[in-house]
């Protein structure tokens, strides 16, 4: 009995130990890191276009701004776009600069390929853009309005300025310092004819520039240009005097311009040719430093000439009216070719892009007074305020009768006056007989953009009665965003959609396009490293994807 009892007791202890071990295992809980749980929640979301209430918003377009090559190469972007979006907008490849060739013809091969692929995927293409000041084939357009050149007999020298001192007209010369200026008697000029300019310096000065004779001219010299100075000179005493380059008389820039001039009591002709250096560039006056000679200087028959490879050629400028006719014809050729060539697939266009001036938001942009980039051409500077009227007339003429035609601009949520100015310009276009179907607001914003202004912008746009499109939405989070920054980004994406839904009536909602589906790389030309989009550079969904999708759920 004792032995059996011991065996039973040992068995009981082992069973209890096993029971305790099982209880310990079952009671342990592993908590997932928050980042993993959050990512799983985001990844559990459906494709974006599944969140659009099509019954309440049957015409709503959920769009993505991409490059042509990303789509036609059938890359990851191509597949992502086809799954999540209804429409694509090309950032560059449907613009004037990408399509118009040097001779003015249109090359639509790449665009045609893209349209066919998009049609197969049942993705529409929004036309962007017909009339803009940037991304233009400006060289071709400028060639149309360039002066008419009637060739001469070959290279030669064009007179820039000259003076023979036979009259008292001193518009192109002056004397500074203590020199006494007068004219010689008639017959005392070079060769015993006419008269000469006399400058008397009574004493030797401390500096040669204490008495200066200036020859003034315009335009100012530029690097690489060639000039020739000829002048007849003499002086009562033998002397040499240097020349300097001045921007304007007294505004010294360089110690040498046209060399040092020797002078004797006998008339001689001085000739000097130069090639303009960087030190001379932008100067418009030659200074002759006369202070070191106590003598009287004589000058006659001064001529400054510029070398012209087309010497003797005649340049005939076109009038403003002639330029207007030529640029109108160019706009017609471009819009007719582009719209006609794509109308089977493209049913909506940004006809006029970014017309309003940032500093003067109720007026149009202009290129006047600006140094223009090589691809900039301001149609409005040649066609006037009615340039958009003409563009809409042409787009309507060559497109489909039911095409939706838009005006598009940026910073409307930043400058409410610019928003009002754009709406006012739409009214002007329509007062001239052309219909504007919609207004696009780009909305390149940040996590700290003013939410009150965003709401106010949508209210202003809604009051226009037009279709409203958020055309290029992105929300920059910064170069090194924290988790809190990325959440603010998600909140901002949702806020934009919420305000669009709240203030834009369903029958005025054209749609929302996000500009680029992934964050930009650090070396990108657009928002480099700003973490602005719904997917990161590795095509992983971000919190902003969830925020944007949550906003779309509210479309009613």
Tens of pLDDT along 357-385? 999 999 999 999 888 999 999 999 999 99
Q: Can you tell me whether residue 74 is helix, strand or coil?
A: coil
| Total-model pTM | 0.71
Beta strands per DSSP E along 99-225 = 124-131, 148-150, 156-163, 173-177, 180-183, 197-200, 211-216
97: left (phi over 0), alpha (psi -120 to 50) or beta: alpha
pLDDT confidence band for 29 (50 / 70 / 90): low
CB 430 within 8 A of CB 422: no
Whether 209 has a pLDDT exceeding 70, the answer reads yes
Residue of 475, 442, 459, 479 whose CA lies nearest to 545: 475
pLDDT at position 33, please? 81
d(CA 126, CA 350): 8
Domain architecture of the chain: domains with CATH:
60-144+318-553 (3.20.20.80), 156-308 (2.60.120.260)
Average pLDDT over residues 61-87: 97
pLDDT, averaged across the chain:
93
For the residues of 341-374, what is the DSSP string, one character each?
Answer: HHTTTEEEEEEEES-B-SSSTTSB---TTS---T
CB 234 within 8 A of CB 267: yes
pLDDT at position 376, please? 97
516: left (phi over 0), alpha (psi -120 to 50) or beta: left
Q: HSE-up of 473 (CA within 13 Å, CB side)?
A: 24
CA distances, 16 to each of 22, 27, 339 (Å): 10, 17, 85
Q: What tokens appear for 318 in the block?
A: 């076109």
d(CA 271, CA 232): 9
Sign of CA dihedral 537, 539, 540, 543: positive
Q: What is the pLDDT of residues 38-57, one digit of tens each?
A: 899 999 999 999 999 999 99
Average pLDDT over residues 238-242: 97
Q: How many beta carbons lie within 10 A of that of residue 415, not counting itself?
A: 19
Q: HSE-up of 170 (CA within 13 Å, CB side)?
A: 11
CB 387 within 8 A of CB 379: yes
Peptide linkage before 412 cis (omega within 30 of 0): no
Residue of 87, 38, 56 whose CA lies nearest to 490: 38
pLDDT confidence band for 28 (50 / 70 / 90): low
CA distances, 108 to each of 122, 144, 332 (Å): 21, 22, 16
Average pLDDT over residues 219-225: 96
The residues pairing with 246 across neighbouring beta strands, listed in sequence order, are: 252, 285
pLDDT confidence band for 10 (50 / 70 / 90): very low
Q: How many beta carbons lie within 10 A of that of residue 497, not counting itself?
A: 23
């Amino acid at each position: 009995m004792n032995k059996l009892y011991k065996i039973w007791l040992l068995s009981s202890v082992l069973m209890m130990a096993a029971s305790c071990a099982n209880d310990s295992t079952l009671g342990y809980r592993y908590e997932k890191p928050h980042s993993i749980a959050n990512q799983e929640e985001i990844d559990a979301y459906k494709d974006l276009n599944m969140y659009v209430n099509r019954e309440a918003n049957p015409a709503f377009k959920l769009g993505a701004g991409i490059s042509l090559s990303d789509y036609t190469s059938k890359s990851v972007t191509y597949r992502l776009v086809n799954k999540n979006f209804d429409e694509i907008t090309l950032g560059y490849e449907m613009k004037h600069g990408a399509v118009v060739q040097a001779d003015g013809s249109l090359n639509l091969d790449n665009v045609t390929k893209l349209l066919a692929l998009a049609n197969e995927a049942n993705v529409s293409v929004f036309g962007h853009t017909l009339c803009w000041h940037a991304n233009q084939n400006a060289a071709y357009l400028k060639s149309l309005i360039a002066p008419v050149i009637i060739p001469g007999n070959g290279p030669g020298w064009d007179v820039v300025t000259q003076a023979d001192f036979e009259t008292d007209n001193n518009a192109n010369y002056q004397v500074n310092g203590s020199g006494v200026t007068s004219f010689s008697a008639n017959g005392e000029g070079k060769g015993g004819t006419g008269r000469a300019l006399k400058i008397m310096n009574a004493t030797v000065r401390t500096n040669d520039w204490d008495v200066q004779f200036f020859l003034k001219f315009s335009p100012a010299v530029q690097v690489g240009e060639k000039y020739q100075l000829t002048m007849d000179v003499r002086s009562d005493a033998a002397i040499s005097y240097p020349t300097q380059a001045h921007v304007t008389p007294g505004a010294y820039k360089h110690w040498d311009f046209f060399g040092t001039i020797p002078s004797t009591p006998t008339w001689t002709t001085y000739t000097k040719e130069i090639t303009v250096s960087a030190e001379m560039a932008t100067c418009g006056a030659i200074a002759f430093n006369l202070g070191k000679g106590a003598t009287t200087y004589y000058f006659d028959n001064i001529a400054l000439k510029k070398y012209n490879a087309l010497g003797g050629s005649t340049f005939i400028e076109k009038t403003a009216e002639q330029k207007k006719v030529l640029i109108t014809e160019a706009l017609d050729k471009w819009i007719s070719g582009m719209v006609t060539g794509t109308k089977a697939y493209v049913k909506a266009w940004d006809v006029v892009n970014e017309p309003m001036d940032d500093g003067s938001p109720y007026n149009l942009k202009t290129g006047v007074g600006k140094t223009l980039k090589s691809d900039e051409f301001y149609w409005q500077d040649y066609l006037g305020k009615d340039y958009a009227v003409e563009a809409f007339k042409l787009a309507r003429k060559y497109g489909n009768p039911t095409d939706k035609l838009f005006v598009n601009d940026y910073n409307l949520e930043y400058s409410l006056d610019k928003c009002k100015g754009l709406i006012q310009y739409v009214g002007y276009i329509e007062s001239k007989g052309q219909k504007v179907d919609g207004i696009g607001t780009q909305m390149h914003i940040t996590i700290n953009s003013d939410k009150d202004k965003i709401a106010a912008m949508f209210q202003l746009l809604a009051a226009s009665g037009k279709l409203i499109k958020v055309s290029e939405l992105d929300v920059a989070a910064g170069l090194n965003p924290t988790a809190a920054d990325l959440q603010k980004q998600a909140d901002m994406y949702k806020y934009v959609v919420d305000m669009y839904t709240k203030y834009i009536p369903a029958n005025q909602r054209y749609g929302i396009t996000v500009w680029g589906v992934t964050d930009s790389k650090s070396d990108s030309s657009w928002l480099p490293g700003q973490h602005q989009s719904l997917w990161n550079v590795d095509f992983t969904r971000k919190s902003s994807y969830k925020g944007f999708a949550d906003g779309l759920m509210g479309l009613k």
